[in-house]
Copies of this chain bind each other. A is one copy, B any other.
Amino acid sequence: MGRWEPGARERMAAAALELYAERGFEQTTAADIAERAGVTERTFFRHFADKREVLFDGTSAFERTVLDGIAAAPPDASPLEAAVAGMRAVVPLLEQERGREFAARRAAIIAANTSLYERELLKMATLGLAGAQALRDRGAPEAAARLAAETAVTVFRVAFARWLGDGRGTGLDKCIRNAFADLRKLVAAPAQ
């Protein structure tokens, strides 16, 4: 097998998710993943630091996309609108590039393992802090920046869960816009 394996990375990611779902994350080794993907173990470690990295491979692209999305929001967007625009910017990455099936499998594996779930929470918390900085960089006042960034992450997390749980195939972008609209209603809601 040559050094250049078209699709090897994607095959390894798919194989890893299959194996984690079948046997559990703890019970799967890098060698198992390599074998299932039809590559050598050395190839696996050329692409991923360890078996956990397969699940968090997209973290830096995800964060960069959100931050670029915040920076690219219209200058007159409010801090919360800019933060939500940043979260919406990841839709192509998650929906078109990797797909809902991949996201659902990944989420199920993460939910079943506390240390993976903690890592995922850390990723989102880090994103909230970075998003707050991106909002400050575009002039958001201090009191608004962190709250807007964290709220946008919350809207995204709720929308993401709805996207995965939705039986009618509602797109992720629509789920984010719906959750944001729901937040507006919640905040505006008078007493029931």
- A residues with CB within 8 A of B: 74-81, 114-115, 117-119, 121-122, 125, 139, 143-144, 146-148, 150-151, 153-155, 157-158, 161, 179, 182-192
Contacts and interface: CB of A to CB of B under 8 A. Distances in A.
B155 A147 contact: yes
Number of copies: 2
Contact of A186 (B78, B115, B179): B78
Contacts of A117: 122, 125
Contacts of A182: 143-144, 147
B186 A151 contact: yes
Contact of A150 (B75, B148, B154): B154
B76 A179 contact: no
A186 B146 contact: no
Given A121-B122, A192-B78, A184 B186 contact: no
Contact of A189 (B74, B80, B122): B80
Contacts of A185: 144
Closest 5 CB pairs of A and B: A118-B118, A78-B189, A76-B191, A121-B121, A80-B186
9 contacts: A78-B191, A78-B192, A80-B186, A117-B122, A118-B118, A118-B122, A147-B155, A151-B186, A184-B187
Given A78-B192, A121-B121, 8 more contacts: A76-B192, A78-B190, A80-B189, A81-B189, A118-B122, A147-B154, A151-B186, A187-B188
Given A80-B189, A183-B151, A114 B122 contact: yes
A187 B192 contact: no
Nearest to A144: B186
